[in-house]
Chain A
Amino acid sequence: MDIVTEAKPGTIELKGRKVVAGRAEGEALVTTETISGWGGINERTGTVIERRHEMRGVSFAGKILVFPGAKGSSGWSAYFHMTRLNGVQPAAMIFTRMTTKIALGAVVTRVPAITELDQDPLSVIETGDWVVVDADAGTVTVTKKS
């Protein structure tokens, strides 16, 4: 089965659609659970605060955030907007489920964002992998952690 594009040895390339332009690279932080903005994150630390969330207490600041998308209040964009003003926004967003909350949120967080990938990023990418997001080219390049 040759669905995995070998960009260069040891890396996996996913192709998708640009949501917000730009290029960023960093360590992946992956969750299979959607994230709430208002009431779900601390906008001063970039930390997930929702009770019973698998990422509770973990900060996404500077990370390539890989997640299904947004849930909860219409304050989602305003809270991620504040993470940018406070300098604790993620480095990029990779998500699978398009909604108005995540679209507007990614736009005002002003980080490269990508969706509609040809493989499921939630299963291909693991926390700690090194990920390059090139939203203009529509590519996500993953180097697995050893």
Chain B
Amino acid sequence: MNLTDHEKAMYDGEHGRAKARAMDLLVRYGEALGAERLVETNNVAGAFNASTPSVQAIAEKGMEHVYSELNLDSDEVVEVPHMVAHTCQLITGIDNDNWELQGVDKALVDMQRANEKYLGRRGVNMFATCTPYQVGNVPVKGEHCAWMESSAVIYCNSVLGARTNVEGKESTGAAALTGRIPYWGFHITENRRGTHLVELDVEVDDMMDWGLLGYYIGEVIGEEIPVLNGTGRQPDLIKLKHFGAAAASSGGVEMYHIPGITPEADSIEEAFGGRKVKGTFRYGAKERRETYEKLQSSTEKKVDFIMLGCPHNSIDQMALIAHMLENKKIHSDVQLWVHTPRAIKQVAERNGYIDVIREAGGVVMSDTCPAISRRLPAGTKVIATDSAKQAHYLPAITGVQGWFGSVSDCVDAALTGEWNGRV
């Protein structure tokens, strides 16, 4: 791989052992990809935290052991200097406030807090959310990023027009210390053009519609780049956040174009950029219904647990849920957890939304989600969620049955204890 003088100096250890180990990983990774060089990045979103039992044995030796082994793939234990790139922590396994409700061991909570202290001082900003773009990290068009989290990657590439591949724990750890990532994949303009056309024969309107469309597209397209035609009404952050998370769950979609709406294409022609259209799919009432059916993995009407907020809720979603729960009480057999980034939780608190949700019997969670933590309320057998992503992962990971539907169907299930959703 071709390295610049500065990169060579870092590789040779002139800027300390941590950067030397980080460069070693980036060179091994770049060569594995077949990349010719690295690209500068000043925007890293990764998983640095220690919150799982498997990390405990390493963390007991010291947090520099965790970073060296798990974030740099280094056998040599290095002192971790301050991050060079703007860096943030994505979602974690533990809600720092509601850990008891999650059933987390106190020793793990202490480990996560000690780790946050260690990383915080070194410049890893503790957003602790899967949606860094909701709480201040909004890259601009063309900005080279090194992000993990499939739902954030697809938003970053498609809606913001910034450039990132799906990075991992080790590559983000190395990028944060060097400000470099392999120049490969979505960093290169030609690789960002559309491959398949998706013609929409039905109007895609509310959040559930966008989730269904995303889940359908991921299934039929896999890892290709869809170009959507005929979406009708203007979507917003909430809808595209859902759409992308769904497409990245059922498939491996990391980039899409909606001509006239997403920033890299004003027309279908521009979206394909001269590339041959590999195939066309039509999404109509039949596909919509079939996708809805696929997302249901439950036959039991009685529900125990309602999960809202995946990807983490925006403030407007928090306002809507609070409005729906105003002066109401959720069913005594049901637990309701609503997930939002900690920064948005503070705004929701100030607006009184948290009080309304709490008074109705719900819990507002931050920092984590059930799929990442693998923790549900004890005894949960049947869940309902407004997220296609959670409906996809939770039954597979935790063995529960799942219902998927609109926010109002989920809130209705929380109030009645029964699922009565429909498409």
Contact = CB atoms under 8 A, between A and B. Distances in A.
A105 to B, nearest CB: 7
Contacts of A104: 29, 32, 167-168, 170-171
9 contacts: A51-B396, A77-B168, A77-B170, A78-B169, A78-B170, A81-B169, A100-B166, A100-B171, A108-B73
Interface of B is mostly: helix
A133 interface: no
Interface of A: 17, 19-20, 39, 43, 50-51, 71-78, 81-82, 85, 98-101, 103-108, 110, 113
Contacts of A39: 371, 393, 396-397
Interface string B247-271: 0000010000000000000000000
Contacts of A113: 32
Q: Of B32, B166, B182, B396, which is in contact with the most chain A CB atoms at under 10 Å from its CB? A: B32
A107 to B, nearest CB: 5
B25 interface: yes
A74 B153 contact: yes
Given A39-B393, A104-B170, A107-B73, A78 B150 contact: no
Interface of B: 25, 28-29, 32-34, 47, 54, 69-70, 73, 148-150, 153, 165-171, 182, 184-185, 223, 252, 371, 393, 396-397
Contacts of A105: 168
Contacts of B170: 77-78, 81, 104, 107-108
A103 B73 contact: no
A71 B150 contact: no
Contacts of B47: 75, 78
A39 B153 CA distance: 19
Nearest to A78: B169
B148 A103 contact: no
Nearest to B75: A110
B39 to A, nearest CB: 13
Contacts of B70: 78, 81
Given A99-B223, A107-B73, A76 B32 contact: no
A107 B171 CA distance: 11
Q: Of A75, A76, A82, A105, which is in contact with the most chain B CB atoms at under 10 Å from its CB? A: A75
A100 B169 contact: no
Nearest to B393: A39
A78 B397 CA distance: 17
A104 B223 CA distance: 18
Contact of B168 (A17, A71, A76, A110): A76
Contacts of B148: 74-75
B223 A103 contact: no
Given A78-B70, A81-B169, A72 B33 contact: no
Given A107-B29, A107-B73, 10 more contacts: A17-B34, A19-B32, A39-B393, A39-B396, A76-B168, A78-B70, A81-B73, A100-B167, A100-B168, A104-B167
A81 B52 CA distance: 15
A98 B33 contact: yes
A103 B166 contact: no
Nearest to B55: A82
Contacts of B168: 74-78, 100-101, 104-105, 108
Q: Of A50, A82, A99, which is in contact with the most chain B CB atoms at under 10 Å from its CB? A: A99
Q: Of A72, A76, A77, A81, which is in contact with the most chain B CB atoms at under 10 Å from its CB? A: A77
Q: Of B28, B34, B149, B184, which is in contact with the most chain A CB atoms at under 10 Å from its CB? A: B28
A103 B29 contact: yes
Contact of B184 (A85, A100, A106): A100
A23 to B, nearest CB: 17
Nearest to A105: B168
A72 B312 CA distance: 19
Contacts of A108: 25, 73, 168, 170
A136 to B, nearest CB: 12
Contacts of A50: 396
Given A75-B168, A78-B169, A100 B33 contact: yes
Q: Of B73, B148, B149, B150, which is in contact with the most chain A CB atoms at under 10 Å from its CB? A: B73
Given A75-B47, A77-B169, A106-B32, A82 B54 contact: yes
For the complex of A and B, 3 pairs with smallest distance between CB atoms: A77-B168, A74-B148, A103-B32
Given A39-B397, A73-B150, A78-B70, A20 B169 contact: no
Contacts of A103: 29, 32-33
B33 A101 contact: no
A74 B168 CA distance: 5
B291 to A, nearest CB: 17
Contacts of A43: 54
A142 to B, nearest CB: 23
Contact of B28 (A20, A78, A81): A20
Contact of B169 (A72, A75, A99): A75
Nearest to A51: B396
B416 to A, nearest CB: 30
A43 to B, nearest CB: 7
A98 B34 contact: yes
Nearest to A17: B34
